[in-house]
Chain A
Amino acid sequence: MTDLAIELSGVGKTYPFFSLDNIDLKVPEGQIMGLIGPNGAGKSTTIRILMGLVHQDRGEVRVLGHHMPAEQVAAKWDIGFASEDMRLYESMTLGWHMSFIQSIYSSWDAAYAQLLLKRFGLRAEQKIKGLSHGQRVKATLLLVFARRPKLLILDEPTTGLDPVARHEILRELTNVMADEGRSILFSSHNTQDVEQISDQITFIDRGRIIDSMDKETYLDRWRRVRLEVPFGIDLPALPGIIGIRRDGRLAVATANEFVPGLANAYESAGARIQCIESMTLEEIFVANVEHSREEVEA
């Protein structure tokens, strides 16, 4: 059995205007899990629960084998956490922050920290207030990476970064995963970033997990089928088709469990297949969210 870096079972949290419902999530050790959701979906709340900063009202949370929030101190020794709304002390230098973290963690890798300084184009003697947004994010991640944590929890770390900075950070995340024992939970609403590095992907919307599986399975299963449908013919409802958009003689069917038999079934019904297209992760995400919302509202 694979050890789990993160395990959430039936986790819920209720606020006056938002609730996180019945979250089940498993991240095996050595895997990168991308947590994708629109703004306000519950990504940050889920992550705060994982870090013990918010107590769940219901359900069990285990991180690196520790029950959260009760054992958060023990768990956090091995967690590297960075979030989009995290800031370093502006009046102090990056070097001061490096010394501060080094004074706490015996796992601090000074040689790797120096390497990251070079790779990220940062200078230890520079004050944080003099850094650009991208440099601040890189400085924060340097402090996280150089302590060599077993688990990285990153809440929208690439938000607001230019493509070059995003690329540098994603490349470094890939380097971090060279050690197979490490795991990453990476939340974002940027599907490109998640698609680039994740092994597993979870979609979350309106406080519920709407789908979770490995990236390749998503990309294999989801297809868009473009059809020409003569007037007077109704397309059959087929399993694996989550939506059909029709405009005159043209129709587009979205499949979340595509098998070649679906196309045959449409042809048997009198439609002509124009093409079967693969979908990007962003298209899958949007279609998934829309389908989930329709199901909830129905």
Chain B
Amino acid sequence: MKGSVAGHLILKDWQLYRMPIALSIVGGVMSLAIFQWGGGWEGTMVVGSVWFYVALILVGTMLPLVGIVNERKKQNLAFVMSLPISPIQYTTSKLVSTVGMFLVPWLTLTISGLMLVEARGIVPRGSIPMMLILDAMPFVGLCIITGVALVGESEGWGIAANVFCNSSYGLVWYFLSRVPALMVNTKGPVPVWNSTVLSVLSAEFGSIVLILGLTFYLQSRKRDFI
């Protein structure tokens, strides 16, 4: 035997899905370029920021749908499960590979966005906390879709989770933008990490941990895997 089979499966997913990851990074970087291209003109800033989040949402949707739902639908799962791996090891490898693959464009684009704000000064530095809150939402969405795709074991559940998440982003953004404690400092010269900002960020990252933990728990209780 050669090392951990779960490790080989994670590597396999990277090889299979590296193209969409690369494309999402290219798309995100291009959107940032558009954002700063207008030199503060509202039109390019809106287009750039929308495309930036679209790139993150797209990759966060695509990875679990292709890597988990399609793998089952296209009957690749039987091939994977013929390998010396248990269902719970498969779950672990899928959670690690899906979240890991998402983190590459997510971290790249988030750090690039922060650097752009810091270096170019097109938008006030006070917008950084809100920007991070909005950035974390596709991450939460990825975890929801991943969890539902693994536990639900069907294309229908995967699509339902996808629709739920994609229709929720706009609503959540709308409500967050009406929270005065979040918006009051966005035009300021320095980021303000008040308790409301920290609470929302904690809720987002807490739900990521909760969703991944719940997925792992539910998968470990399954008696039939295929």
Contacts and interface: CB of A to CB of B under 8 A. Distances in A.
A265 interface: no
Interface in B57-98: 74-76, 78-79, 81-87, 89
A297 interface: no
A52 B1 CA distance: 19
A105 B16 contact: no
30 contacts: A52-B86, A53-B87, A54-B223, A54-B224, A54-B226, A55-B223, A55-B224, A69-B86, A73-B85, A76-B83, A76-B84, A83-B78, A85-B78, A86-B75, A86-B79, A86-B82, A87-B74, A87-B78, A89-B16, A90-B74, A92-B16, A103-B8, A104-B1, A104-B2, A104-B8, A105-B1, A105-B2, A106-B1, A140-B79, A144-B82
Contacts of B78: 83, 85-87
A157 B17 CA distance: 29
Interface in A31-81: 48, 51-55, 69, 72-74, 76-77, 79-81
B151 to A, nearest CB: 16
Contacts of A77: 1, 84
A63 to B, nearest CB: 12
Question: Which secondary structure characterizes the binding site on chain B?
Answer: loop
A9 B89 CA distance: 27
Contacts of A80: 82
Contacts of A82: 82
Contacts of A91: 16
B2 to A, nearest CB: 6
B173 interface: no
Given A73-B84, A80-B82, A89-B76, 6 more contacts: A73-B5, A76-B84, A82-B82, A89-B16, A106-B1, A106-B2
Interface centre among B8, B74, B79 (most CB of A within 10 A): B79
A5 B223 CA distance: 24
A100 interface: yes
Interface string A100-118: 1001111000000000000
A140 B80 CA distance: 12
A69 to B, nearest CB: 8
The size bracket of the interface on A is 20 to 34
Contacts of B224: 48, 53-55
B12 interface: yes
A287 interface: no
Contacts of A144: 82
B225 interface: yes
A89 B73 CA distance: 12
A80 B82 CA distance: 7
A88 interface: yes
Interface string B103-143: 00000000000000000000000000000000000000000
